[in-house]
Amino acid sequence: MPNHSDDLTLWRLTQCKLNRLFVHDLKNPISALSANLNFLESVPLEETEDVRGALTDSILAANMLLKLVENFDLIALLESDETFPLSHVNMADFIRAAVNRNKALSASAGVRLVIREPLPTVAQTWQNRYAELVVDNLIMSAVRHSPHGADVVVSLEENGDELVIGITDQGQPIAAEYRGGLFSRESQVEAKKNPGCRYGRGLGLYAVGLGAEVLGGRLEIGEKENLAIFSFIVPIVSTP
């Protein structure tokens, strides 16, 4: 008798490989588009305010499209159970690198990225690419939903044997009824139907949920004084 379980596994692996080929074909032209737009922004041009605004919006859209493609690539990897080598990282450096990676995006959106100092000196051993995926997507989501001129604050704390990476923004807090299953595939599909669900668009939060699970962490959503707060909490693993 045919083994349908084996057939399904083979189909999933083949689909993941096709997804990655699709991503590869998309990523090169989008990267070139983003680089050219950033070059145009850096050179003096005779332009009106509308032209400058259109260029800034195009840079933001290109950067977000590139991140969407990267998310699609990593979702394919995560769903295929592929892993990356463990990395031993200084977490203060990790947070600063995450902010630097996303400064161009935040500047295009008119939002300030701020690190809450001081950062604790702590080492972590984990699959760093997945960790970057989680934090970058949380920062991007906060930037996208923040009002112009607002701050997005990135923090790092030690809480016993856990690390807490916080992303706080001044956008609309997430309603309690959407918090429970926000990072699942099903909830993202359903949330798109409700215009009041702030984070119901794109692959970002689904990728965040997958990445956090692989890293053995969890995600918490809250609000304080009309601020939206995301917390990525992961056990400290300091042994290389």
pLDDT tens per residue across all 240 residues of the chain: 455 566 656 656 666 666 666 666 666 667 777 777 777 767 666 666 677 677 777 777 777 777 777 777 777 776 666 667 899 999 999 999 999 999 988 887 889 999 999 999 899 999 998 899 899 989 988 998 889 999 999 999 999 999 999 999 988 777 676 666 666 655 555 555 555 555 544 567 778 888 888 899 999 988 888 888 999 999 999 876
Q: Which of 172, 240, 215 is nearest to 74 (CA)?
A: 215
Lookup: tokens for 157: 């704390």
| Residue spans per domain, the chain | 4-79, 87-235
86: CB partners within 8 A, 6+ apart: 125, 126, 127, 240
Q: Give 186's contacts (C-beta < 8 A, 6+ positions apart).
A: none
**What is the per-residue pLDDT for 124?**
96
Does domain 87-235 fall into CATH 3.30.565.10? yes
144 vs 150: CA distance, rounded Å: 11
Q: Which of 140, 145, 150 is nearest to 99 (CA)?
A: 140
